[in-house]
Structure formats: C-alpha cells, structure tokens
C-alpha cells in the first residue's frame, strides 16, 4: 500500500498543474491517470488563451480568466526554468469577426462602454478587416482585434507541465483505472486501482468529464457531463489567415509548423470520442464560409476531445464535503488550458490552508446549481 500525502486523480492539464504546485511543499504527490497522461481533452484543445471574446457578461469566472491570462507568460517562463521546454507560447492575437450588422453594432457599443485596462483592443471596420485579412469573405461588417491575446500548443504544454511536475518530485502513474474508493470516518480511506492501493492524506479529483463518475463511487453527487469537440488540421505552407480568427462557429488557427487548425464543434454526444463525417462537414462548412480558400487545402488529420461541463457552466473548485480529505478541481469546460495556472495556485493555497481561498468561493462544489 502506498501512502502519498496527496493523491491527484486525473492527469490532464488541471491535475498535473496542481500536482506540481503541491510538490513545492510536499514531495509525496502521486497522480493517477486512466489513460496516457494528458491524452484526453487537454491535448485535444485548440490552445487559444482568450479570457474574453464574444461573451459580454461580467462575472467571477471572467475575472478569474483575466487573472490567469495575466500571469500566463510568467507561468510559462517558470515551467521553462523547471525543465518543461518549449510549450508554443506566442502572442499572435485573435480576430473575432462580426458576421452580421446587428452583432457588429452590439459588440462595438459594448467594447466602447467597457474598456479593459492592460490589453490592446482594436475595433475594425469592414474595410480595415479586409486589409488585415484579405482571404476573408466579403463584405463583413468588421471585427474586434485582440492584439496581444496568446496561444499555446496543447500537446507541447501538456508534455511540458508533466515533465516539470515529475522534476518537482511528482510520481505520474498512467493507465491506472480507479476500481474502488473506500470511506471511513468521514474520509476517503483508500483508493484502489487494478494494481495498487493508495492511502492518501488528501485526495483531489481532477478527472475532467469523468469526475462525476468517480465522485459517485463514494456516494457523492457532482454533476458533470462530457461535451464533445472535434477539430481538424490542414497542411499549408502559407496560411490563408495570418491572425487566429474566430467568426460565428468557425475557428482558424495558424500553427508555426505549417498546419492550420480548424474547428470546432460543440456536441452533446456522451463519452463518444469518435471523429465523424458530420463533425468534419460542420467545421468545413463554417470555416470555408468565412475563408473560402480553406476548401482547397490538403487534409492532415482530425481529432476529438471531451470537455468537462457543469450545469451552470462554472468549474467546481474546493473541498468535496462532507469528506474531510477530498477536494475537487474540474468542470473548466473550454477554459481548462487558460485556467490551469490560476486554478493550480489557488487550489494548492486552499488545500494547504485547509480553507477555500476567497477567489474560489463562487466555484465551491456545494453552491446551488440550476434545476
């Protein structure tokens, strides 16, 4: 029987980032992952890091996204110093293209009334947009250009975070399926996999879309569901768009290695991770309607991932009461890559203090959820 101080269930970006933070204080940290470390939603993501675009609502989640975006570059530098290597961090900006006049008027008015300090934002007319990105279909009413928004390469980031965690002393255990969890005296007493039994001081559930299933094995309700996202990649020496571009449901993301990532679907399909022709058609219809040249590119590959969603769209971060030694960090949906740095730091701080950080109170698992 192994007796780690911290047992993190889930080896995606949220779990590995948190494990690295925990290892700064305790060297007995073990991460269990049912498949390959980082092999699920974390490596399937697009890798854009926009704290805000399209959505004009302000709330604690948006504030947390901005805070995480602000510290991202320093976090990446820390990872590099800790041995992570290149994670593909770049500031290529993001174009959020308006496809309808009413949308353009609403977005333009909102941005003028709600300037956000610290970031460079340009409101482009249709003519300015055409000059910046001539491959876009015309006419378009304009766009908002987030000049300094960043991106990462998710597989590179995932490998880098996992490596930094291991170098910090974290033990990563891939292909360890949770068979059983035992409760005793208001605690998670033991966690059983197919090969080992763990008796941990603290257990943290970070299993993404599967977290609710794990929680149910100890009799706790933690509503989560998978939301499928498909993407595809095309080969192109010269991308038809220079800047990462979003418009309607279309996303076009040029990569430094000559790929153009295209996406992305949002599907209620259960735990189905198959790439489908319908999904690919949806992506191609949306992206080629925005950038007609897309249809002439050479197909490279397609993939799918399962985003962890919650009933109210906010992640669960905090103690999983009434158990005294169980915490959870999951449900980040489409913001897992972006929120990894701030989630790891605030969760580790809360766990060590045995008190939920004020910034995480809105995301506590015991909050009231919509019916």
Residue boundaries of the structural domains of the chain: 6-49+155-223+311-363, 91-150+226-309
Task: Supply the DSSP string of 189-256, one letter for each residue.
Answer: EEEEESS-EE--SEEEE--GGGHHHHHHTTT-----EEEEEEEEEEE-SS-S-SS-EEETTEEEEE-T
Say if residue 360's pLDDT is above 70.
yes
Look up tokens 């876009």; give the residue. 136
Q: How far apart are CA 67 and CA 312, in angstroms?
A: 21
Q: Helices (H), strands (E): how many in the chain?
A: 9, 17
Mean pLDDT for all residues in the chain = 93
- Measured over all CA atoms, what is the biggest interatomic distance in the chain, rounded to whole angstroms? 67
pTM: 0.94
pLDDT digits (tens, 9 = 90+) for 284-312: 999 999 999 999 999 999 999 999 999 99
pLDDT digits (tens, 9 = 90+) for 42-91: 989 999 999 875 454 568 999 999 999 999 999 999 999 999 999 999 99
Give the whole-number percent of the chain exceeding pLDDT 90.
86
Q: How confident is the model at residue 203 (pLDDT cuts 50, 70, 90)?
A: very high
CATH topology of domain 91-150+226-309: D-Amino Acid Oxidase; Chain A, domain 2 (3.30.9)
**pLDDT score for 53:** 58
CATH topology of domain 6-49+155-223+311-363: FAD/NAD(P)-binding domain (3.50.50)
């Amino acid at each position: 029987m192994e007796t780690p101080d911290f047992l993190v269930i889930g080896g995606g970006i949220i779990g590995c980032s948190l494990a690295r933070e925990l290892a700064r204080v305790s060297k007995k940290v073990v991460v269990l992952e049912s498949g390959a470390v980082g092999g699920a939603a974390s490596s399937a993501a697009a890798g854009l890091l926009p704290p805000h675009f399209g959505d004009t609502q302000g709330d604690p989640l948006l504030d947390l996204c901005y805070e995480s975006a602000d510290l991202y570059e320093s976090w990446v530098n820390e990872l590099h110093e800790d041995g992570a290597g290149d994670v593909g961090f770049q500031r290529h900006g993001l174009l959020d293209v308006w496809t309808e006049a009413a949308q353009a008027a609403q977005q333009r008015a909102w941005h003028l009334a709600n300037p956000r300090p610290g970031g460079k934002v340009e409101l482009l007319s249709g003519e300015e947009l055409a000059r910046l990105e001539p491959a876009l279909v015309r006419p378009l009413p304009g766009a908002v250009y987030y000049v300094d928004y960043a991106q990462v390469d998710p597989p590179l980031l995932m490998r880098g975070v996992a490596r930094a965690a291991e170098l910090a002393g974290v033990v990563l255990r891939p292909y360890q399926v949770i068979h059983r969890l035992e409760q005793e005296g208001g605690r998670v007493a033991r966690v059983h996999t197919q090969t080992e039994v763990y008796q941990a001081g603290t257990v943290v559930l970070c299993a993404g879309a599967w977290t609710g299933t794990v929680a149910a094995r100890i009799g706790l309700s933690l509503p989560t569901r998978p939301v499928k996202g498909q993407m595809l990649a095309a080969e192109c020496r010269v991308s038809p768009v220079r800047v990462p571009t979003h418009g309607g449901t279309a996303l076009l993301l040029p990569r430094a290695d000559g790929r153009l990532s295209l996406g992305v679907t949002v599907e209620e399909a259960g735990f189905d991770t198959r790439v489908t022709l319908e999904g690919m058609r949806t992506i191609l219809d949306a992206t080629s309607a925005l950038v007609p040249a897309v249809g002439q590119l050479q197909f490279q590959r397609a993939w799918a991932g399962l985003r962890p969603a919650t009933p109210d769209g906010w992640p669960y971060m905090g103690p999983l009461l009434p158990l005294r030694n169980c915490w959870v960090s999951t449900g980040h949906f489409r913001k897992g890559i972006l929120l990894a740095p701030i989630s790891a730091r605030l969760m580790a701080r809360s766990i060590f203090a045995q008190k939920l950080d004020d910034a995480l109170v809105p995301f506590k698992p015991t909050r009231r959820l919509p019916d």
